Structure 1
Amino acid sequence: MKRLLTAVTLATMALGASAQNYPEKPITIVVPFAAGGPTDKVARDLAEAIRKPLGGQVIIENVAGAGGTLGHTKVAKAGADGYTLLLAHVAMATAPALYRKLQYDALNDFEYLGLVNEVPMTLIARPTMPAANYGELAKWLDANKGKINLANAGLGSASHLCGLLFQQSTKIDMTTVPYKGTGPAMTDLIGGQVDLMCDQTTNTTGQISGGKVKAYAVTTTKRLTGEAVKNLPTLNEVGLKGFNVTIWHGLYAPKNTPKPVLDKVNAALKTALKDAQFIKNQEALGADIVDDGRVNPAEHKKFVEAEIAKWGPVIKAAGQYAD
């Protein structure tokens, strides 16, 4: 018994010393999507901003596939030492409903470290759409039931999720047209092959400013200030009460990562979110830095629990699942 207690004590002391000296080697942030996309950009900006307060090297590893779930699974099964982290977006909350067989539990296989940012979305249409404002668009939708095409960037994408909620909120079924990414979906929208799309400001503001698409509303509860979207109403104010969709990003570690390590990463995250260059980079993406209680682990997890509760019924009602 004495030997067992001694072994436990030595192990505890070693763990404490390791946590105290953290980081002693490079930290990897796993991005569950391909390089070059919005989430990858956020992760690379964050890696640079968080490197300074952590005092160590931070590298990015892209683990794309299966709507982000491959990257999530990799981190869930990684060593719980703080050297493998996950930068994930809203898929953390939607995958439990979208995928029948997940290799991880979104709420129980990760340590929550804090939210990073939120990206608003816009409801846009082909340039030849006859409606001049949302009121006219609502009438057009009602008059064209059964003939409306709604584009998205693929199952589980931001545009797919926003489109599902839009259909549910308007009580109008539309023909969902999935593409392999935002690029081809936007090309067909601009060309008039599809009618509508709901996508992130990171993907839409340039098209709106250039007059290549028509814009009707934003998906947040407050109006936006960006030049291209400042005159757009919110969907909430035009009658879709409670409509609120943003694409958010959060930072996670494997379950059972030592608390001293989690505390260090959370403190570094809070510092990074106040970094002038990081803020500038996020503003250029059309993203809002999170500056409320959700930068704390407990509030971050509570927020994701609420998002799971919101998206689960929407996805199940649509019956659009991935294997």
Structure 2
Amino acid sequence: MKTLFKVAAVAVAAAAAVGVQAQDFPSKDKTITIVVPYAAGGPTDRVARDLAEAMRKPLGGVSVVIDNSAGAGSTIGTAKVARAAPDGYTLLLNHVSMATMPTMYRKLAFNVANDFEYLGIINDVPMTLIARPSMAANNYKDLSAWIAQNKGKINLGNAGQGSASHLCGLMYQSALQVDMTPVPYKGTAPAITDLIGGQIDLLCDQTTNTTSQIEGKKVKAYAVTTAKRLTTPALKDLPTLAESGLKDFSVTIWHGLYAPKGTPAPVLKKLNDALKAALKDPDFIKKEEGLGAVVATDARVEPAEHKKFVLSETEKFGAVIKAAGSYAD
């Protein structure tokens, strides 16, 4: 009986400690770290830095910093957060990789569905299909004819295994039922450099990376991957791939925010409230629009809908990855 009372007392004490911790969260004596599993300067890093700034005020002015833990297709930084203390002071900001890693990698040090608390979707980023400037085709109809005439000879660049451009390329080839030669790079910048130089033929990448190149006429642009045309001045005249003949084709790269599994519910509530406040911040919205991104305003900003969405994306993209046999060790 004494043992039972002792166990119960320990449980009550632990619960009380968590309650105090949650009540005090966030402490101005501590720093909240958002882990970005990619290198500094890239589109996901820029989203994270803008979000960190927008979340400071609703979190009471606490310091929010970025930790770039890049490598291995975002698995290094993601694993780091999965192992972190579940106290709300270490978060993860990642993109569609959260939906592709379970299929793309044969072994992972974490379980995407079970090792994280889902806090909400941040934005959606459209993709653009672009080509080397020397490409003869001047519109998507002509490009389709060129692809049909050059099967087996087409080089399709991407920013590395598991990147947004890699995923878009797989989806595009699957929709066309045409195999192209993948040319992986260590990031988007060298891929676009080689596209401009004519070393590769095509690239499907985020508007955050391609809009300035399209504006400067350094590459040829043919279509966007969204269900509807975009309103961005440099992209508004581009047709969607769906209206160009690839029925129901739609690929957008979204970003979401996560905490380690086991983070107390009151802490999660404060973080989700701060995220939703940030998504309504006019400065944050303006910065995202400048990147070609659309800030989330739908039900996916809620944790349950965020997780439901990621699991549905995992199923959708998993089928394409399996069909292509595009796995990493």
Q: What band does the TM-score fall into relative to the shorter chain?
A: over 0.9
Partner residue of 2:8? 5
Q: Is the counterpart of residue 288 in structure 1 residue 288 in structure 2?
A: no
CA RMSD of aligned residues (A): 1.0
SS in 1 for 2:58: helix
Partner residue of 2:34? 29
Distance 2:68 2:270 in 1: 24
Q: Which runs of 5+ in 1 are unaligned?
A: none
Distance 2:9 2:196 in 1: 69
1:82-121 equivalences in 2 (<5 Å): 82-121=88-127
Aligned residues between the structures: 323
Q: What amino acid sits opposite 2:32 in the alignment?
A: I
Q: What amino acid sits opposite 2:140 in the alignment?
A: Y
Deviations 1:135-182 (A, max 9, x none): 111111111111111111111111111011100000111111111221
Deviations 1:217-249 (A, max 9, x none): 000101101111100111111111121111111
Deviations 1:11-58 (A, max 9, x none): 211211110110122111111111111111111111111111011221
Distance 1:38 1:207 in 2: 15
1:154-169 equivalences in 2 (<5 Å): 154-169=160-175
Q: What amino acid sits opposite 1:20 in the alignment?
A: Q
Q: TM-score, normalised by structure 2?
A: 0.96
Partner residue of 1:219? 225
Distance 2:288 2:184 in 1: 28
Q: Is the counterpart of residue 251 in structure 1 residue 254 in structure 2?
A: no
4+ residue runs of structure 1 moved beyond 4 angstroms? Answer: none
Deviations 1:242-270 (A, max 9, x none): 21111111000011111010001000100
Distance 1:84 1:8 in 2: 25
Deviations 1:265-286 (A, max 9, x none): 0001000001111111111111
Distance 1:149 1:254 in 2: 40
Partner residue of 2:49? 44
Deviations 1:173-215 (A, max 9, x none): 1111111221221111112221111011111111111111111
Partner residue of 1:203? 209
Q: TM-score, normalised by structure 1?
A: 0.98
Higher mean displacement: 296-305 or 34-43:
34-43
Q: What amino acid sits opposite 1:268 in the alignment?
A: A
1:113-132 equivalences in 2 (<5 Å): 113-132=119-138
Q: Which runs of 5+ in 2 are unaligned?
A: none
Among all aligned residue pairs of Structure 1 and Structure 2, give the percentage whose two residues are the same amino acid.
67
Distance 1:88 1:189 in 2: 26
Partner residue of 1:273? 279
Residue 3 of structure 1 and its aligned partner are, at CA, apart by 2.5
1:145-160 equivalences in 2 (<5 Å): 145-160=151-166
Residue 4 of structure 1 and its aligned partner are, at CA, apart by 2.2
Residue 65 of structure 1 and its aligned partner are, at CA, apart by 1.0
Distance 1:193 1:10 in 2: 64
Residue 216 of structure 1 and its aligned partner are, at CA, apart by 0.7
